A and B are shown apart, each in its own frame.
With several copies, the nearest count.
Chain A
Amino acid sequence: MICSPPKSHDCIVLSNKRLSENSIYLTRLHCPDIAQNSSSGQFVNIKVSNELSPLLRRPFSICKVDKAEGWFEVLWQIVGRGTTLMAGYKVDDVINIIGPLGHGFHIKSGIESAILVGGGLGIAPLPFLCQDILEKSSANIAVYVGVRTKADLAMAELFNDFDINIIQCTEDGSAGIQGYVTKPLIEKLASKSSVPPVLFSCGPEVFLKRMVDISSEFDVEGQISVESVMGCGFGICVGCPVEVQDYAEGERKYKLTCIDGPVFDSREVLLVG
């Protein structure tokens, strides 16, 4: 759902918490406009430095919003230079952010059952998605969280506010169910319930590919949030194509992750992972 056109905001850091020893952080930023005018699955593009290197902004999903208090949160992990700088953000720092950006999740009115699946940091947009679904429906929600190891499960605590089912998996078996998150998910889908769920997922490309297969296998609607290298985040660089297989529009072979996505119908996108 696109809302207003993207604007540039100087956001104040309200908190910057390290959630786990694996250097996962949750950053809360004051910005009423983004808090009030974004929908789940959208993202923001953060100016991480005022130097010429790192040069480009860094995109992050909106993880949670509080419209009343006028803040939103991003959940992220240190992986490189930009995120290393972000780890240094202190309360009251002013950060330039463009957002909200992109097309988020599409929540059908009257949705009855939603399954949210997050692989690793792909969990990031799902708390906001919970908020959105619960606001718009009385759907039954289950969240499947798949991470590498116990420490990463600190992210699952973001769902504690919601009265929903949380299934936790770790690859190394250090907590929750051992193995990939797709295992319990498939079991659940196989034990057919009366209401077909909508499958919302976000995570690494290989994981999303698996989710696309699962959606088609069980013939349920799937929405996936994909990632891409981004030059701008709002459609001016044309640097973030995803291949699409639905040639409804004629010759079109690519859509842009940043403005046509990042959320796509799982039948539409051709993933390479």
Chain B
Amino acid sequence: MADLSVSIGKLKLKNPVLVASGTFGYGQESRALTDLNALGGIVTKSVTLKRRDGNPPPRIFELPAGMLNSIGLANVGVDTFISEKLPFLSELSTAIIANVAGSTPEEYLQVIEKLDEHDSISAYELNFSCPNVKQGGLAFSQDPKVTQQVTRMLRDITEKPLIAKLTPNITRVSEIAQAAKDGGADAVSLINTLVGMAVNTQTRKPQVHTVTAGYSGPAVKPVALAKVFEVVQNVDIPVVGIGGIMNLNDALEFFITGACAVQVGTANFIDPSTGEKMVGGLNDYCNGNGIDAISEIVGSLKL
């Protein structure tokens, strides 16, 4: 039996396959579609201080090997999350990582203050990178100084591991990763969605209401791998790889490039058991190739 467990600072994962924020709801929706406990962890839909309605429709548009979304952080808000969503998640034997978002640094702080007493939450992923809200989000992870300050502020109020989620819509993502590290983040996760756009040539309207939107799916995987590579090569911080991961081979590309864990996003919409299958496949792969621990693969890229 290969050892698939991974440690990211104080965060222990039984295996390196997580599901990505906003692509798995709050877990319970898929309970009959997959064995949730097979996953290394579940990253929740972004939680904000107040409930958010999200953007007007259309919010989604399909593209060749990808999709656009402009959900706009629609979520139930931190209080309802704690009262209605967390109890189900708490019963699971997988790591629960709360993804936290906000329009101001204070909002992140207030959300984490509310969540922090709940032991079932193993870590926070800080969504510094949502392209679909007017304020905050993206701006935070496009400026290293802001990234560092906000991370530091949150580092000071919680003992739990912090994972800064970074945007790919930036010249040098490694500068932001370095800033997150300097601010006290335990890890970075990337990528959030690329900014993309599509036009309905019949109506001459944008295909999603917000005009530009977040681009995800297999089509963004090459960009995600290049960004992960940039961070791995330049910053000494654990990296969680995200972007277009549909199967074990895709996940292996990220591990080999240097990601110590991966998150499955868009693939869940097509098959919410993608992560579960990947864990099984990874186990077989390791056993079949004489690999005792997942760490033997991580960063094994031959340059």
In the complex, A touching B (Cβ < 8 A)? yes
A interface list, Cβ under 8 A from B: 4-8, 47, 52-57, 96, 98, 228-232, 234-243, 251-254, 259
Residues in A whose Cβ lies below 8 Å from that of B63: 55
Inter-chain CA distance A88–B97, complex, in Å, is: 43
Question: In B37-53, which residues have CB < 8 Å from any A CB?
Answer: 45, 51, 53
Q: Are A240 and B51 in contact (CB under 8 A)?
A: no
Question: In B220-254, which residues have CB < 8 Å from any A CB?
Answer: 246
Closest beta carbon of chain B to A258's beta carbon, Å? 10
Inter-chain CA distance A253–B52, complex, in Å, is: 10
- Known A47-B270, A56-B270, A231-B67; contact A236-B30, beta-carbon cutoff 8 A: yes
Q: Are A57 and B270 in contact (CB under 8 A)?
A: yes
| Given pairs A6-B33, A254-B54, 7 additional interface contacts (CB within 8 A) | A47-B270, A53-B65, A55-B65, A55-B270, A96-B271, A238-B25, A241-B74
Residue of A nearest to B77 (CB): A251
Inter-chain CA distance A98–B274, complex, in Å, is: 14
Inter-chain CA distance A55–B30, complex, in Å, is: 19
B interface list, Cβ under 8 A from A: 22-25, 29-33, 45, 51, 53-54, 56-67, 69, 71, 74, 217-218, 246, 266, 268-273
Q: Are A235 and B29 in contact (CB under 8 A)?
A: yes
A–B complex contacts, Cβ < 8 Å, 24 sampled: A5-B31, A6-B33, A7-B32, A47-B271, A52-B218, A55-B62, A55-B67, A57-B270, A228-B57, A229-B62, A231-B67, A231-B69, A232-B268, A232-B269, A235-B25, A235-B29, A236-B268, A238-B59, A239-B60, A239-B69, A241-B74, A251-B51, A252-B53, A254-B54
Q: Are B32 and A5 in contact (CB under 8 A)?
A: yes
Residues in B whose Cβ lies below 8 Å from that of A8: 33, 271, 273
Q: Are A56 and B67 in contact (CB under 8 A)?
A: yes
Q: Are B54 and A238 in contact (CB under 8 A)?
A: yes
Residues in A whose Cβ lies below 8 Å from that of B62: 54-56, 229
Residue of A nearest to B34 (CB): A8
Inter-chain CA distance A215–B76, complex, in Å, is: 32
Q: Are B71 and A238 in contact (CB under 8 A)?
A: yes
Closest beta carbon of chain B to A74's beta carbon, Å? 18
A234 contact from B33, B64, B67, B246, Cβ within 8 A: B33
Closest beta carbon of chain A to B94's beta carbon, Å? 16
Q: Are A234 and B30 in contact (CB under 8 A)?
A: yes
B60 contact from A52, A57, A229, A243, Cβ within 8 A: A229
Inter-chain CA distance A96–B273, complex, in Å, is: 13
A52 contact from B31, B56, B65, Cβ within 8 A: B65
Residues in B whose Cβ lies below 8 Å from that of A98: 33
Closest beta carbon of chain B to A223's beta carbon, Å? 21
Q: Are A6 and B57 in contact (CB under 8 A)?
A: no
A236 contact from B53, B57, B61, B272, Cβ within 8 A: B272
